[in-house]
């Protein structure tokens, strides 16, 4: 199948498309010169983004509770608990969902070894964020630092009043003030759009699902030899194995679905705040060029960061399995705004 490169961001699209899959600008004919192409996502105001994130978060929580209940039902039937399995599953699912909502930020921050810093310890970081809060009309988030040399940053929290921004030591060390402002404007846009709520809960729930699956596989291997099962038992076993195999896949799908367009949107609305696309473009280039690895990032938190910290994957730039748009495309879009 022939593919056409987008004139604006360079993303390779199937020839049949008339607009770019990634940045939404026109591919052929009038307006395809890149510079004048409209940035479709930017036009939507952040109220509709907030509404969409609230909706997606609710669906995610409900889905998680239902999935836990279904899993517990199967396990309960297997373990001879009968219908009580569902109740236990509902209880566990609700507790998980509630803690993902209310303490998701703390869980993610703790898992990333982020420590809160006072304003006088990191005056530049504090000042830059406070400036952006003025520009966006947002309350001041809590600030955290991750002691790692790999430059990266993420935002978390359930709403702007309960938001945290975490940056690595490497980011503070290598970035100029202008670049730091670009990165933090991107993070504050995530806070304002309520992306942080959905992304944080995805991170926590993906982590929980992975934990549950590991636990299921262990206990299944453990009891495999002990019990002989009839036809119904075998069927339940198949369902259980299917569920356990599907769960990680579902989590991968969710991670894919959440961020690619949202990263672009946060880039764009960050630029709307700072009115300076060069800072973020140069910061992205610097982050991409840095060889250091962020050890504290994992598959449940990778989508939160401004640049995917798990850069080893060769699949990343093809876009199919990535949580982030290709970094070169992001830089090109930013440069087209300048």
- Closest approach of Cβ 43 to another protein, in Å? 17
Tell whether residue 173 is a contact of another protein (CB under 8 A): no
103: nearest Cα among 153, 141, 157: 157
Q: Which of 49, 77, 179, 187 is catalytic?
A: 187
Neighbours of 321 (CB within 10 A): 12
Please tell me the distance from the alpha carbon of residue 202 to that of residue 138, in angstroms, as a whole number: 24
- Bridge pairing between strands 12-14 and 3-5: antiparallel
DSSP string, 25-69: -B-SSTTTTSTT---HHHHS-HHHHHHHHHHHHHHHHHHHHHHHH
Phi first, then psi: what are they for 325, rounded to 5°?
A: -70, 155
282 neighbors 182 (Cβ within 8 angstroms): yes
* Contact between 127 and another protein per CB under 8 A: yes
Applying CB under 8 A, the span of 1-9, 71-79, 130-138, 189-197 interacting with another protein comes to 130-138
Nearest one of 173, 181, 179 to 134, comparing CA atoms: 181
Q: Is 134 in the site for another protein (CB under 8 A)?
A: yes
Looking at residues 4 to 43 of the shown chain, list those that interact with another protein (rule: CB under 8 A).
none
Task: Read off φ and ψ for residue 321, nearest 5 degrees.
Answer: -105, 10
179 is catalytic: no
- The interface with another protein within residues 89-118 (CB under 8 A) comprises none
Q: Which CB atom, from 132 or from 296, has the smaller least distance to another protein?
A: 132
275 binds another protein (CB under 8 A): yes
Q: Pick from 128, 258, 265, 284: which binds another protein (CB under 8 A)?
A: 128
The residue range among 105-113, 122-130, 262-270, 324-332 that interacts with another protein, by the rule CB under 8 A, is 122-130
Please return the burial class of 209, using the count of CB atoms within 10 Å of its CB with bins 0-12, 13-18 and 19+: buried
From 56-64, 67-75, 120-128, 226-234, span contacting another protein (CB under 8 A)? 120-128
Residue window 176-205: x/- pattern of binding to another protein, with contact defined by CB under 8 A: -x---x------------------------
State the minimum distance, in angstroms, from the CB of residue 134 to another protein: 5
Applying CB under 8 A, which residues contact another protein? 123-124, 127-128, 130-132, 134-135, 137, 177, 181, 273, 275
Q: Which residues are catalytic?
A: 187
């Amino acid at each position: 199948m022939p593919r056409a490169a987008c004139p604006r961001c360079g993303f390779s699209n199937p020839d049949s498309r008339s607009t770019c899959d990634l940045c939404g600008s026109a591919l052929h004919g009038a307006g395809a010169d890149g510079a004048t192409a409209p940035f479709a996502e930017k036009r939507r105001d952040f109220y509709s983004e907030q509404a969409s994130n609230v909706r997606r978060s609710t669906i995610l929580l409900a889905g998680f509770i239902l999935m836990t209940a279904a899993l517990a039902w199967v396990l309960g039937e297997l373990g001879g608990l009968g219908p009580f399995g569902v109740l236990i599953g509902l209880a566990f699912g609700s507790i998980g969902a509630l803690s993902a909502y209310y303490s998701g930020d703390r869980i993610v921050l703790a898992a990333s070894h982020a420590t809160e810093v006072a304003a006088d310890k990191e005056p530049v970081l504090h000042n830059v964020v406070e400036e952006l809060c003025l520009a966006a009309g947002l309350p001041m988030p809590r600030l955290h630092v991750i002691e790692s040399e790999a430059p990266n940053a993420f935002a978390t929290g359930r709403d702007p009043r309960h938001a945290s921004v975490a940056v690595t030591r490497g980011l503070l060390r290598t970035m100029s003030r202008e670049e730091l402002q670009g990165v933090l404007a991107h993070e504050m846009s995530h806070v304002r759009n309520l992306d942080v709520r959905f992304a944080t809960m995805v991170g926590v729930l993906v982590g929980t699902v992975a934990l549950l699956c590991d636990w299921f596989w262990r206990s299944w291997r453990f009891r495999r030899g002990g019990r002989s099962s009839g036809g119904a038992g075998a069927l339940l076993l198949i369902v259980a194995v299917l569920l356990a195999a599907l769960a990680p896949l579902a989590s991968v799908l969710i991670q894919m679905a959440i961020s690619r367009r949202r990263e672009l949107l946060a880039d764009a609305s960050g630029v709307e705040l700072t009115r300076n696309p060069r800072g973020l473009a140069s910061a992205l280039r610097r982050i991409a060029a840095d060889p250091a690895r962020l050890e504290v990032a994992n598959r449940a938190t990778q989508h939160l960061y401004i640049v995917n910290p798990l850069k080893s994957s060769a699949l990343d730039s093809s876009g199919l399995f990535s949580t982030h748009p290709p970094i070169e495309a992001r830089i090109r879009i930013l440069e087209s705004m300048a």
